[in-house]
Chain A
Amino acid sequence: MRVLKITNTDSFPIENSNGGVWQPMNNTISDEYWLKLEAEHDLIKNNISYEVGDVEIKIEEINTEKP
């Protein structure tokens, strides 16, 4: 999946122009932090560096055992 890769997450969360916030995820096989491409405008507005690249989302198994 083509995403925006974030190397420094110190500035997050930041405001999302459409409402809510942007908070990078690291649920990828490579453990990289990322955001959707539509976050680009807000990253630029907040002077946060990023790279466009591809990641693969890690599928977590839901624990069905009794807590």
Chain B
Amino acid sequence: MGIYSQAAGGELTPAQLFIAAAAITGTTQKNAITSLVADLKGTGSTTNSTDVWSKLYAFYPMCPIDATTFTLAACKWNLVNPLDTDAAFRMTWVNSPAVSYEGVKGDGSSSYGNTNFVESAHMTAGNNGMTRDNFDIPTDGTIQVYAGADYPKFTFRRNNNSYSGQQAIIHAGSLNICTISRLSPTNFIVYKDGISVGSSTVSSSIQADQPMIISGASDGSGNPITLFAVGNKTFSIHDGLTANEALDLKDALTNYDTALGR
């Protein structure tokens, strides 16, 4: 028997709600989700045991159904609120990105994921962040942005001057977990695998007013204009994270991917 269990009193836990919504049947996959939630809540196995969960708006685990089954439908669910509605930020996969045990990958020309999350409607200006965990990225050295919203106000691209250098560090040909975090208008930090690799004190309170998409970037009207052939193991949208929280989120993602064997 795995660690998948029901909460006391019969109320379903967040992990159970997600597992039911995504129709996950594999024991390994169920256990990975259960441990992931515990890690995110700070009750599992992370360095600082911080509560990252309460800062999450959306978390897409893109979990396989079992060891050999994986579908786009199972990868659309938001772990934080696994309801099949745009308002719950259930991902809308557009134009059939490729799905595998590793996750979901855009084709670079037409397919992407629409999170249905609009920053200006749900976040506080000057407090935002997102974390990507990729299994495949282009190697041409020119791609700098893997998640964006409301071009050109990419969340990964605020206050560009020092950002280009930061992005060059983050995307230097390696697959890694990348977190951007803005705790205040003048406190922006980029983390690579939970370690700070750049920062900016240039003030910014800009908020995207179109749905955030992954494996692509959209224009000011929400139209996807630049798509990337990038694979996503997980993707999350959150408030700004402290250094300890960013490291714990990295730990949670690493534990999750390891548990799944991907």
> Which residues of A come within 8 Å of B, CB atoms?
1, 13, 16, 18-23, 25, 27, 34-36, 38-39, 57, 60, 62-67
Digitize B74-116: 1 where CB-to-A-CB distance is under 8 Å, 0 elsewhere: 0110000000000000001111100000000001011100000
Query: When the two chains form their complex, are residues B217 and A19 in contact, meaning their CB atoms are under 8 A apart?
Result: no
Q: Quick one: given A67-B152, A67-B153, are A27 and B109 in contact (CB under 8 Å)?
A: yes
- Specify the main secondary structure of chain B where it touches its partner: loop
Complex Cα distance A23/B222, Å? 13
Residue of chain B at shortest CB distance from A55: B109
Q: Which residues of B contact A62 (CB under 8 A)?
A: 144-145, 151-152, 217, 226
Contact A25-B153, Cβ < 8 Å, known A16-B96, A62-B144: no
- Write out the residue numbers on chain A whose beta carbons fall within 8 Å of the beta carbon of B107: 36
- Report whether A20 and B160 are in contact in the complex, using a CB–CB cutoff of 8 Å: no
Q: Is the CB of B160 within 8 A of A19?
A: no
Closest to B74 in A: A19
Q: List the B residue with the shortest CB-CB distance to A19.
A: B72
B226 contact set on A, CB distance < 8 A: 60, 62
Are the CB atoms of A19 and B93 closer together than 8 Å? yes
Q: Which residue of B lies closest to A59 (CB)?
A: B226
Query: Would A60 and B92 count as touching, CB distance under 8 A?
Result: no
